[in-house]
Amino acid sequence: MSETQSTPVVVADGLIKQFGRFAALRGVTGEFAAGKLYVILGDNGAGKTTLLRTIAGLAHATRGVISVLGFAHINEARSQIGYMAHPSLLYDEMSGMENLRYFSELYGISAADVDKKCRDAINAVKLDPDLDRPVGQYSQGMRQRMSLARALLNDPKLLLLDEPFSNVDARSAAEMAILVAQARDRGKTVFVVTHQPAQLEAYADEFIWMELGRIVDRTATLGGRQ
Amino acid sequence: MSFLAITRATLAKDIRLEWRSKDAINAMLFFSLLVVVIFSFAFDPTAEESRRIAGGLVWVAFLFAAIVALNQTWARELRNQVLDAYRVSPAPATPLFIAKAFGNFIFVAVLEALMTPLFVAFYKLRPLGPSWQLIPIAVLGTWALVVNGTFFAAMSLRTRAREIMLPLLLFPLSIPALLGMVNSTAAVLTGETSPTFWIALLVAYDVVFTTACLLMFEAVLEAE
């Protein structure tokens, strides 16, 4: 294992996240090394999405400490994070290229590079950059891929994917899984929240099992949990 | 990363989305048109009465119509949770607010430009004071409506009854601005008094609330 891979990308210590009286995270602790593909598993309400949103800086821990990419303050890490949520995070009325051009401005991608970066991101997810159709008219599988393209746009070191296989057919899900594995192979650290872990069984480095807001196990294989 | 580039890109994106959907502008136009027609039939005022009441009528119509645009501007960020894509990016909060406020200003200004000739025709308005003063009054008044409106629309974004919440939050705070708009407009139309005091009030209102909104917007955007 290289030095880069042994450096923790995410370090969580006693993370607690409460929504009113409901505790979505109840003391999440763990270190997650760079360049690995982590699959987060658990029942509905286990805290998977909240953990992912906390890493992304979209949810703020009520108690506990989290460091992302070596930064204690998430704002400093934002330019190196790619986030894909269950909804597409895209404007339905705009085409894929128009969406990506807008988001590239938010990441400060220089005007000279915008078109190339957008095309590369769209090509990477096997879509056509010249497709003029609004995203709202895409199939669910295409929308998921375009959403992944948006997450990859800034060439992030840390990729956070929430339910990337939901509502897509088996073939699209398998293709998405390959794209996710390729991202890891390019050196990115990837966290995937999913209810379909079998899609990533062949590629994942570690499975993180959550129950009632806690990490209860970490295994190298999907069937490795006692 | 350029503050101006993000503001410009967000504004261009909002104008493009509105141009394609025309959700806000159509709803605002129909609402204002109804107000003009219904009130003209209900009151049938003389030219003199028109000059006295038109300021209030026009600005209240624009205020209610603007609510539609203000709600719409954030509603499109909620669809597909696109706002999270902005929040997760390294872009600061302020350009988003400025772009939204300018976008709303443009939409409401377009509405005003389209509706003003109708108000003039239906109410037989002919200003007796210096009519050029209506331009700064319109600019300052419209900004007063949209800057607070954009802020409170963002604040009520995550509430369940946000379409009701926005007027409840916005209208009480808009009373000083509304007084400024109505009285300065009436002063120009009747030519009886100088609108200077009311214009100064609008300037002060705009400066104070724009500053406050800019300072507090990041906290609103980051709120869960």
Mean pLDDT, chain A, whole residue set: 91
Residue contact B84–A81, C-beta within 8 A? no
Number of domains in chain B: 1
Q: What is the pTM of this model?
A: 0.91
Nearest neighbour of B79 by CB, restricted to A75, A92, A106? A92
**What's the CA gap between B123 and A180, in Å, rounded?**
65
The pLDDT value recorded for residue B179 is: 94
DSSP one-letter code for A89:
-
Residue A27 has pLDDT above 60, yes or no: yes
Task: Name chain B contacts of A156, Cβ cutoff 8 Å.
Answer: none
CA B125 to chain centre: 23
Residue contact B90–A150, C-beta within 8 A? no
Percent of chain B with pLDDT over 90: 55
Q: What is the pLDDT of residues A159-209, one digit of tens each?
A: 999 999 987 888 888 988 999 999 999 999 999 999 999 999 999 999 999
Domain containing B97: what range? 3-223
The pLDDT value recorded for residue A5 is: 52
Output the CA–CA distances (angstroms, integers) from residue B76 to A95, A96, A138, B8, B69, in the order listed.
15, 17, 18, 18, 11
Residue A102 has pLDDT above 60, yes or no: yes
Question: Amino acid letter at B112?
Answer: E
Residue contact A91–B17, C-beta within 8 A? yes
User: Look-up: residue for tokens 């038109």?
Assistant: B54
Task: Name chain B contacts of A108, Cβ cutoff 8 Å.
Answer: 1-2, 5, 90
CA R_g for chain B: 18
Those residues with Cβ within 8 angstroms of residue A99's Cβ, 6 or more apart along the chain or in another chain: A90, A91, A135, A146, A150
Task: Name chain B contacts of A106, Cβ cutoff 8 Å.
Answer: 1, 6, 9, 85-86, 89-91
Q: What is the pLDDT of residues A137-170, one digit of tens each?
A: 999 889 999 999 999 999 999 999 999 998 788 8
Which of A2-16, A85-99, B22-36, B117-131 comes out lowest in average pLDDT?
Answer: A2-16
Nearest Cα neighbor of B25 from B77, B69, B88 is B69
Residue contact A108–B90, C-beta within 8 A? yes
The residue of chain A nearest to residue B91, with distances taken between CA atoms, is A106
Task: Name chain A contacts of B90, Cβ cutoff 8 Å.
Answer: 75, 78-79, 106-108
